[in-house]
Amino acid sequence: MAREIIMDNSELAQILIRAVEEADSSDRLLDAVQELAAARIEESVPTLVAALGYNNPGAAVAAVDGLIAIGEPAVVPLLELIDDYNYGARAWAVRALAGIGDLRALDTLLEAAKTDFSLSVRRAAARGLGTLRWHQVPPEKVESVQTQVIEALVLISEDPEWVVRYAVVTSLEALATAMPAAVNNAITLPDQASRIRDRLQQMFDTDADLGVRTRAQFALQKIQQPQHQQLFALKTKQEESEVPHRGGGRR
């Protein structure tokens, strides 16, 4: 049964790939790429990657969605595309890599977030830094990678474009809340957690954009809430331990 499904997928991929290759108009190309992306078949990765370089933004968006859905098998072809001369294709590839969150794309995301001239690429890369798959990081390297990512986000939080700074806020929040539980019980070091909170507080206090300030305030509330719950639980446990058991104490 499993083999038949694989063969069916392969046959379907060939049909959908052929439709992309034979599309003779922008509309037909868009429809064909959308159908290929929706199939989420690993065999379609080369064709979806190639679609990033077409002069068809709609098809590129569909290809990005399809590559993100396919996930890890798309990472190496996308990284290879980064070295291409076609800037448009590289920009779409960064978006796809950001959505996948594979650690192999870390250097690419860091560079794009810091230096790319397109605000949409910087925004995508900044968001991708907050959704990395931390389970891929060996425990002994978690601290150094955390530090690298946090330092980059702090730097990018000074970006002149508000949409990039907004993305930084969401990533800092994600690092402070989701990452600790995802890395083999490794935790964010106290100084790193404090640095995240301090930077979010600074952005809430000083950012020129109301939307960024509001989002920073929300992030601060969200990352502080579990800490308050943990402190309350610890205090309650301590208080319970101090209460004498029934039958204990003086008679």
Residue pLDDT, tens place only, 27-71: 999 999 999 999 999 999 999 999 999 989 999 999 999 999 999
Residue pLDDT, tens place only, 130-150: 999 888 888 888 888 889 999
Using H for helix, E for strand and C for coil, what is the string for the chain? CHHHHHHHHHHHHHHHHHHHHHCCCHHHHHHHHHHHHHHCCHHHHHHHHHHCCCCCHHHHHHHHHHHHHHCHHHHHHHHHHHCCCCHHHHHHHHHHHHHHCCHHHHHHHHHHHHHCCCHHHHHHHHHHHCCCCHHHCCHHHHHHHHHHHHHHHHHHCCCCCHHHHHHHHHHHHHHHHCCHHHCCCCCCCHHHHHHHHHHHHHHHHHCCCHHHHHHHHHHHHHHHHHHHHHHHHHHHHHHHHHCCCCCCCCC
Mean pLDDT value of segment 213-231: 78
* Mean pLDDT across the chain: 84
